[in-house]
Chain A
């Protein structure tokens, strides 16, 4: 699961292209997103107002509450996206979980068209959110005693390498995310991030799996960056909060990866900046002083010194030597050297 934006950018762009096309166009396009979602768009020139959009994603859940197909409640929610525009095709296209028949001529004109197309592009986010919402509601309304007797956690896999677990505890649900990174630096940045998150209430990080996950597959329990868990109370599941809670849970992996990517970019920018400053420092060590002249900013001022020659130079040298001997504080008195003593 790698969403940070609800709508699929490719689907949105393609639907816009078909909707705005002056002439009917033929499209039979198959594309994948985020490694686990696939789409198919079909539009023919013979019937340019009808577009078929098929979609499929991994919807694996294992445990006490199991949903492997799209729920009937989800179909109702999809139909309500744009009344009169969307029809659900039964059975769906081979290899897909859902096929929609879009009536482009029923889409309202102007800015409304963009909103409708954007909502249609959010179809996958809607399916996954809807499934997870139902699951959380069912678990939340389970009796505490019933849940304790049958305490096996639910394993949710919406992306092959990113499973997470949800299990019921007294008065709350807990979502546990096993975190795995291949790169050592990603692991360290992520671990420092999780240690910051741990300071918040209802959020916990541990390098070892919680005991409720005993008996789960070993590959899920062997991680490089520990386990992050969130406590979900009934407050998070009631009303409008449910949508936000579900979206945050679905996007947690994507959020962490995005943070690591941005941190690495930031480190790289700072390193470049520091390197430039160090190189400038080294350039200043150059022996060639004229090389420092740049646009007249560096001025090399020659001090004109009068260099004495011949007898004048000899006199100056004698004076200098006498001064140095006097300063040296030579205490031993030598006959004939009275002029060198300071006290004289």
Chain B
């Protein structure tokens, strides 16, 4: 995560995360972008790390085994993305094809400790999976209890 401040080469007084302007910069300034790294556990779970001179984008695709996990993941990650300003490093809209994205700039590296930031992202990934699994179990357990109560009266 060696990010440094880098004002825009094309436009005066602009200082934007270069990784967000990837599709423009690959034609005009390819030297500012590094090779993206894609880590795949399987087709359903992957992590894309795109780096540039002053910013880093990490996109995650979370495992969704069935319909219930699918809607729980969508709801939860959308809930977090809508509150991205509380997280600072979270992107409001995930990159296409992924469920959630982080955008880390050189400013974040100046304000926060890098090692702890990396630990946070790893912890975030673990917590998301754990939370979705727990939510699924809770919803199913709740449904079972409610069904039992209803059928007790019926029987």
Contact = CB atoms under 8 A, between A and B. Distances in A.
A188 B140 contact: no
A185 interface: yes
Contacts of B110: 287
A259 B149 CA distance: 12
A242 to B, nearest CB: 12
Contacts of B72: 267
B71 A185 contact: yes
Contacts of B96: none
B153 A259 contact: no
Nearest to B146: A259
B10 to A, nearest CB: 31
Contacts of B138: 266, 270
Interface in A269-311: 270-271, 274-275, 277-279, 281-282, 284-287
A192 B145 CA distance: 12
A285 B120 contact: yes
Given A266-B138, A285-B113, A287-B112, A193 B146 contact: yes
A200 B113 contact: no
Interface stretch (B20-28, B44-52, B53-61, B84-92): B84-92
Contact of B143 (A193, A271, A275, A281): A193
B67 interface: yes
Contact of A188 (B71, B83, B88, B153): B71
Contact of A196 (B71, B120, B147): B147
Contacts of B146: 193, 255, 259
Interface string B112-132: 110011011001100100010
A191 interface: yes
Nearest to B86: A279
Given A188-B68, A188-B71, A282 B87 contact: yes
Nearest to B117: A285
Interface string A169-197: 00000000000000011001101110011
A215 B12 CA distance: 72
B76 A285 contact: no
Contacts of A236: 154
A248 B154 contact: yes
B112 A281 contact: no
The residue among B68, B89, B151, B154 with the most chain A CB atoms within 10 A of its own CB is: B154
B135 interface: yes
A275 B140 contact: no
Given A192-B68, A259-B146, A279-B87, 18 more contacts: A185-B75, A188-B71, A189-B143, A192-B139, A193-B146, A196-B144, A197-B150, A200-B148, A200-B155, A203-B154, A245-B154, A271-B79, A274-B76, A274-B127, A275-B83, A275-B86, A278-B80, A287-B110
Interface of B: 67-68, 70-72, 75-76, 79-80, 83, 86-89, 110-113, 116-117, 119-120, 123-124, 127, 131, 134-135, 138-140, 142-144, 146-148, 150-151, 153-155
Interface of A: 184-185, 188-189, 191-193, 196-197, 199-200, 202-203, 230, 236, 244-245, 248, 255, 259, 262-263, 266-268, 270-271, 274-275, 277-279, 281-282, 284-287
11 contacts: A192-B139, A230-B154, A248-B153, A266-B138, A266-B142, A271-B80, A271-B131, A275-B80, A275-B86, A287-B111, A287-B112
Q: Which 8 A-B pairs have the closest CB atoms?
A: A285-B116, A193-B143, A285-B112, A197-B147, A196-B147, A196-B144, A196-B143, A185-B71
